[in-house]
Chain A
Amino acid sequence: MNILICGVGGQGTILASKILAESAVIDGSDVARTGETIGMSQRGGSVVSHVRTEKTSSPYIPKGQADLIIAFEKCEAARCLPFLKPSGKAVVSMSEIKPVAVSLGVMAYDSKAMEDYIKSAAESIFLDTDTLAAPFMDGKCTNTLLLGAAFGMGFINISENAIKKAMEKLIKPRFLDVNIKAFEAGIKAVSG
């Protein structure tokens, strides 16, 4: 699978990408690759993580080849859609983080146009993560919650057991339980 995770620097996209790569290997992949954005963009800029769970030489997903986009922010989802396959899926947080230039009136943030575009281009599900993730460390588990939602939708071809094992390995013990709960809340949010 080719999975693209996007958001705003500081939202925790890298942990989500690590969990996916680790769980793919637990489930038997020979090699999983990720390509991260680490550096200046982590200060509130656009960030993207590429995750590839099948054998490739490069970690970067070409345009039009992602099976799934997990977006932590609406505008960033729209920005990354050209990476998605025509049959690809998108799990999108409704969260709107307006760049400072928008608040200053230099640029516009057209929420409705973004949403329409995402809906027209992908089989997508929108989640109110600001509310859903609030009970889990004041929204700090949005990443594991979105993973749960993508898994719950059947968009991730990895077992629940492997994802939880990967979380055990990668998350500090004192934060593990709340992240597992957020993951399960993500599954629940898209069920039924």
Chain B
Amino acid sequence: MKMNLLGNGAIAMGAIAAGVKFAAGYPGTPSTEILETLKSSEYSKNIHIEWSANEKAAVEAGAGAAYSGMRTLVTMKQVGLNVASDPVMCLAYIGIKGGMVIAVADDPGPISSQTEQDTRSFGAYAHLTVLDPSSPEEAYKMTKYAFELSEKIGRPVILRPTTKVCHASATVDVSDEIHDYTPEGFVKDPKWVIFPPLSYKRHIENFKMYNSIASEKCKYNNVETVPDTDKGIVTGGVTTAIVTDVLESLGVKVNRLTIGRPYPFPVSETEIFAETAKDILVLEELEPFIEENLQRLIKTPLKGKYSEHVPAAGELKYENIESIICGFLGLQTPETPSAKLNVTLPTRAPVLCAGCPHRASFYAVKLASKGKKAVYCGDIGCYTLGNAKPLETTDTCLCMGGGITVAQGIKTSNPDTDVFAFTGDSTFFASGMTGVANAVYNKHNITICILDNRTTAMTGGQPHPGTGVTITGEETVHIDIAKVLTALDVGFVKECNPFDLENAVKTVTEAALYNGVSAIVFKAPCIAVSKKPCTYEVSDCIGCKRCINELGCPAISLSSGKAVIDPVMCYGCGICETVCKPGKIHKIGGVRS
């Protein structure tokens, strides 16, 4: 059956065809839609699907299922693999019984990530096979193959798509056949217990096994030789697809080596390629992974990132690739006639949505710390956008859950400063709780602000342990954040509604004065999971711009010097009414609950 699928959807459909029975992950762009497609599929009732509390939990739960013979899929973004690296590294030694695919989406650019790290390098470091699809069609086939290979070698396999495969769609031929099997269940055996002597033995076995796989042909590595030229281009991932388009448009043929299985790095395909190709260009995004591995096997100096023929960082777009290839082949880069931009356009960076409760929470903290020395430690989520003008309430952002702990070091080295840590509800459960325990145990005098908007907002609104529902919509326990904080012996815990600005400022002031760890849970739902209660309008604006300069709400703009509110964008939060000193902003329709 032909289906138009995003790369992530193709991975989900591939997993279904392979007979996946356990699927777990933590949301993260660009990987999120894999589990979402699985959940929405008609086959979902036969699969255990969960958003785990974090990536480490997902891999560990997945390992247990795979030990018991279930085909298992675990999904995450590249930085999620850092969180899961402990179980993943160990699992590379212990192995699995049911095929286990760890889908890790990399993000060249980066477009929506903290790092441009390369999971191919991680796979080589951990000793895990890495498959790198170049299109949604290939992602579908590769996913099925990844399960088979994993089961055959008894080790997890990493499937590593990048953003432009995950979020590109294509027409994919999806098979109706689903691999049928009955998982054997957990069978007790000393091999499931990691101990130094076993690790030593497995390290040798793994080294030998991957070395031998490196010499076996793989259908996802491809060599095309052209006898009348010694020029060769080596690619992997989406760059392979773009290079195909570029060469076709230039009307030239060169020797090509495409690497769909970057680890273990293919030896035999490289040998065939190197017989004809003597002048070689390596085009790849992120780390020079192919380049380094190829250089280990070929003596000719390569053209790539080290020789500065290819940029060290960022995406490789069509235009970059075309110009690099033309330089390599000694061709004139074709002039494509197109409009030349002759107007200055304002940049449009992402912003907190109109009506976003985070804006009110940040604003309350800012007001409460006015005139005092204060540092605001942010974290990963929509609320990282609190760094922008005019709020400017995010001074640091490091990694998931890092804000709470970074704040502790800042407070220690800046004792005269009030230090606030902002963490979202999903981030709190993913990796914030340990930082709270550290603060309480080590007597750090900080104020933790949990921005509880009842969803994982940045990735499109996934449920988490604090929401009371699972990925499938089934009701479950709703873990109460304030109770967790109290149980962790945080001395001051208060909940408040950030839109009740006066009370919110009072609560923040109290919390900042508290000697010890204090915490405020700002409770107001994300606009994506709540109903618009009303809208606001401005009448007889005096043009003081206070609303704009204080809040930076995207629904408010200036027209002939006066503030206007876009009625479609306005979500009726009413914070602008509170801020408008001349009292010119009014509610229209509905009631703000």
Contact = CB atoms under 8 A, between A and B. Distances in A.
Contacts of A34: 4, 168-169
B568 A104 contact: no
B164 interface: yes
Nearest to B137: A31
By DSSP majority rule, is chain B's interface helix, strand, loop, or mixed? loop
Nearest to A31: B171
Nearest to A36: B167
Contacts of A37: 167
Contacts of B135: 57
Given A31-B171, A34-B169, A99-B348, A62 B318 contact: yes
B30 interface: yes
A82 B30 contact: no
Interface residues of A, number: 65
Contacts, number: 190
A103 interface: yes
Interface string B245-266: 1001100000000000000000
A114 interface: yes
A147 to B, nearest CB: 16
Nearest to A121: B339
B229 interface: no
A98 B548 CA distance: 12
For A25, A43, A100, A102, the residue with the greatest tally of chain B CB atoms inside 10 Å of its CB is A100
Contacts of A31: 170-171
Interface in B6-49: 6, 29-30, 33
Interface in A65-112: 65, 75-76, 78-79, 81-86, 97-104, 106-110
Interface residues of B, number: 66
Nearest to A56: B245
A108 to B, nearest CB: 7
A158 B350 CA distance: 33
Interface stretch (B95-103, B210-218, B551-559, B574-582): B551-559
Contact of B353 (A30, A43, A121): A43
Contact of B168 (A59, A79, A114): A59
A18 B169 contact: yes
A43 B168 CA distance: 19
Given A40-B458, A41-B350, A43-B351, A33 B336 contact: no
B371 interface: no
B337 A86 contact: yes
A30 B30 CA distance: 26
A28 B339 CA distance: 32
A42 B350 contact: yes
Interface of A: 8-10, 18, 21-22, 25, 29-46, 56-60, 62-65, 75-76, 78-79, 81-86, 97-104, 106-110, 113-114, 117, 121-122, 130, 138-139
Interface of B: 2, 4, 6, 29-30, 33, 111-112, 134-135, 163-164, 167-171, 238, 240-242, 244-245, 248-249, 317-319, 322, 336-353, 382, 385, 388-390, 458, 460, 548-549, 552-554, 556-558, 566-569
27 contacts: A21-B171, A25-B4, A30-B171, A32-B4, A33-B169, A33-B170, A33-B171, A37-B167, A38-B167, A39-B112, A40-B350, A41-B350, A43-B350, A44-B350, A57-B134, A58-B244, A60-B317, A63-B318, A64-B336, A81-B339, A98-B346, A99-B554, A100-B552, A103-B552, A107-B346, A114-B345, A121-B339
